[in-house]
A and B are shown apart, each in its own frame.
Chain A
Amino acid sequence: MILARRADAAMDLPMTQAALPKPRQSLRQQEARDAFLMLLPGLLIIFVITLIPVLYTFILSFTDTPLSNPRPQNFTGLQNYLAFLKQPLFWQTIWRTFYFTVVSVGIELVLGLAIATLLHSRPPGWKFLRTSLIIPWAVPTIVNGALWRWIYNADYGALNGLLLSLGIITKYQPWLTQPDLAMNLVIVADVWHSMPFIVLILSAALATIPTDLEEAAQVDGATAWQRFWLIRMPLLKPAILVALVIRTVEAFRVFDIIYVITQGGPAFRTVTISYLTYLESFSYGKLGSGSALSFLISIFTLAMALVYIRLLYRPEGRQ
């Protein structure tokens, strides 16, 4: 239909030009305008469901609007932001969230790369392995959280059962009450759930690397290690970048798994920045400062994405 319309417009053109001494619009301009009109419905939807809420939240972040009456009111300027930046609780939470993100994504990437490489070499039963890897990823996060909460349970959990039967512990341990351990346990649950995503992306990328490159290198006497670092890794970089950015942004906003496993405990040691935002906005009913927090999250996430792009992404030809 579009093609027909374009042909139609092209035929119209000479007539229009003949009627007017000087064409007001070139074909190119007309095309741009039509393209814009065609995109407009999509843009409008994006505007209504994304931009308006973002702008609304931005306005709310400069007020002390309560949740009970969510129209922006009582403008307080930068006070919400300044109050958080001055609070030790905020910085502890940011630091904890970074810890979660770096450790969790780091482990996922290393393990994910290892498993993807292994699968790529087609070991016996690799199809079964590849399929079973999807299972943790297919489990909804809430279910995953409930599952791990049960595994970690101090009185009837599977982890205690396993460690006891292996003789590593002599009696059941209350894992989730230990302030220094709780966050790491949440990380394990998150890695189990999210690593398959990285394996999938990297497996797909590995499949696109031409085998003749590595074969040629092998003929030239490159070791397996050299082939991996000098041929595979540079070609995998774009895929790694995509996986890293998506996972980092996701991990930085982690909420559901924590809500289910620890509820932020013990002693706030697993409260991340999204959990804090939830507490501010919905438990304490402070929509204004909750909005400010969500904007601070956006700023941090944006900064991290920029760092990644700087570190890993080089336009073609500048390498």
Chain B
Amino acid sequence: MFHKSRPVFILVLVALLFSLVGCGAQPQADTGPKVVKVLTMQQAGPTPEEMNAIVAKFNEGNPNVKVEIEYVSYDALHDKIATAMATTPPSYDVVLVDDIWYAEFAKAGYLWDVTSKIDAATKEKVFAAAWDITTVNGVTYGMPWLLDAKYFYYNEKLLAEAGFNAPPKTWEELVAMSKVIKEKGIVEYPIVWSWGQAEAAICDFVALLFGNGGTLVDAEGKPAFNNEKGVQVVQWMLDTIDAGISNPASVSYVEEDVRNVFSQGKAVFAVNWLYMYELANLNKDESQITGQVKFGLMPAFEGSGVESATINGSMGFSVVDKSPNREQAWEFVKFLTSEAIQKEYSAHLLPIWSSNYEGEALNELMALNEATPVTVPAFKAQFPFSHVRPKVPYYPEASKALQLALQEALTKVKTPKQALDDAAAKWNELQGK
């Protein structure tokens, strides 16, 4: 009954089983360098080359840490983090987190509580608004990194050709100017937006909604974007498309499309994050309109009593709770967000350190590179008018419902009122769960 070769079978089987079991848990050697894997995006902040330079500097002081950086697009970042966290140990030690995800990730237990690791001096020197981004219910889950808002850009040369020497202060003025621009045949569509089916659409909508005196949610956290103010805003968006003022392709665009169209001189106005300034105005490889780009304060609607309103789109770097190298990861996060590094790379990203924006330090910051003389004053003028989106654990699903509503209204599948009411019903349903 027993064959001679039976033991061979059993041996092969056991070996196979072990090889399968071994797939998951490869214990890390204690002696080698600790690996810190970072997940971030390229759309804002330093370029990958600059990031590599930052890592090289970090390694001068921390030779025993190996930093590996992976980039994804903003629209893939949330889902990539959420999937990576399902394994132990997770695929990343440090992740870039948008302010709208902090509540969800904190509730899910993905992020390391670093409240006690932040000393009083750091706490004091970073903008209070920046701490709000990484803090949920009094617990701090990371270092703020990017303080951003959507800015109103205009092409000074093209606007001058239309006979205007100042940017519009209200959206009504923008419509009036756009009609002249169209009549003179300067561009086909004067303004380009990111109204595609993505978070970018919510950002533009929030800027317009608060600029009309509206809000996303009321004091009780119930959806308020479907009231009269919200409906007016969506109707205005639709009307500007119909009138050929807003580029109709905006309905399929995200930020990079906006940058491409604006950088080709095919739009006089654009709404985008701060990163577009350097690329559109100073970078000849990326833009055909260098030297023509200016900032205006984000307009608001007449009669709303609002001077300006925009979206707060800030992000922070956090350490993953299940990471085996949390201490090393935190060291890297501190280095990446340190005052010295942030000042050095301020062409693409303004510092979170408030002391840089006053007195002598401000002059120093503005003299650091070609971009900061323009971006720093723009930040100081625009950021105080920025509004945050609700910090709720179900944000991604709520946002998708509102994205759908905007898309349905802008493609005339539903009326603005109907579309916004449907999204509000979904928000209420999510809240009730």
Contacts and interface: CB of A to CB of B under 8 A. Distances in A.
B197 A268 contact: yes
Nearest to B16: A41
B117 interface: no
Given A282-B83, A283-B79, A267 B407 contact: yes
A155 B261 contact: yes
A142 to B, nearest CB: 11
B411 A177 contact: yes
Nearest to A38: B9
B132 interface: no
- What class of interface size applies to chain B in its complex with A? 35 or more
Interface stretch (B50-58, B118-126, B158-166, B243-251): B243-251
Interface string A266-299: 1111000000001100111100000000000000
Contacts of A279: 400
Contact of A5 (B5, B188, B196): B5
A68 B85 CA distance: 7
Majority-rule SS of A interface residues: loop
A267 B108 contact: no
B86 interface: yes
A135 B118 CA distance: 55
Nearest to B261: A155
A284 B397 contact: yes
B17 interface: yes
A285 B104 CA distance: 10
B82 A282 contact: yes
Given A155-B260, A263-B197, A266-B407, A285 B108 contact: yes
Interface residues of A, number: 43
A131 interface: no
A48 B407 contact: no
Contact of A285 (B82, B247, B410): B82
B1 interface: yes
Interface string A227-268: 000000000000000000000000000000000001111111
A24 B408 CA distance: 74
Interface string B97-111: 000000010011110
Contact of A265 (B5, B247, B252): B252
A283 B248 contact: no
B197 A266 contact: yes
Interface string B225-267: 0000000000000000000000111011000010011001010
Interface string A170-195: 01101011110000000000000000
Contacts of B302: none
Contacts of B413: 179, 267
Interface string A52-74: 00000000000000111110000
Contacts of A38: 9
Contacts of B400: 279, 283-284
A154 B252 contact: yes
B219 interface: no
A66 to B, nearest CB: 7
Nearest to A9: B3
B408 A177 contact: no
A11 interface: no
Contacts of A44: 13, 16-17
A176 B13 CA distance: 54
A129 interface: no
B347 interface: no
A265 B82 CA distance: 23
B-side interface mostly: helix
B20 interface: yes
Interface in B74-90: 75, 78-79, 82-83, 85-86
A37 B9 contact: yes
A204 interface: no
Contacts of B16: 41, 44-45
Contacts of B394: 284
Contacts of B29: none
A307 interface: no
A178 B197 contact: no
A95 interface: no
Interface string B175-205: 0000000000000100000001110000000
Nearest to A283: B396
Contacts of B216: none
Of A34, A69, A177, A264, chain B has the most CB atoms within 10 Å of the CB of A177
B404 interface: yes
Given A44-B17, A282-B79, A283-B397, A265 B249 contact: no
Contact of A268 (B20, B83, B188, B404): B404
Given A174-B251, A177-B251, A263-B75, A155 B408 contact: no
A266 B86 CA distance: 31
Contact of A264 (B79, B197, B410): B197
Given A155-B264, A171-B188, A285-B396, A70 B251 contact: no
Contacts of B86: 67-68, 70
A313 interface: no
Nearest to A5: B5
A66 B108 contact: yes
Contacts of A155: 247, 249, 257, 260-261, 264, 266
A291 to B, nearest CB: 13
Contacts of A154: 247-249, 252
Sorted nearest first, the 3 A-B pairs with minimum C-beta distance are A265-B197, A68-B108, A154-B249
Given A153-B257, A179-B411, 9 more contacts: A25-B1, A38-B9, A68-B107, A69-B108, A263-B197, A266-B411, A282-B79, A283-B79, A284-B396
5 contacts: A44-B13, A153-B257, A177-B248, A282-B83, A284-B394
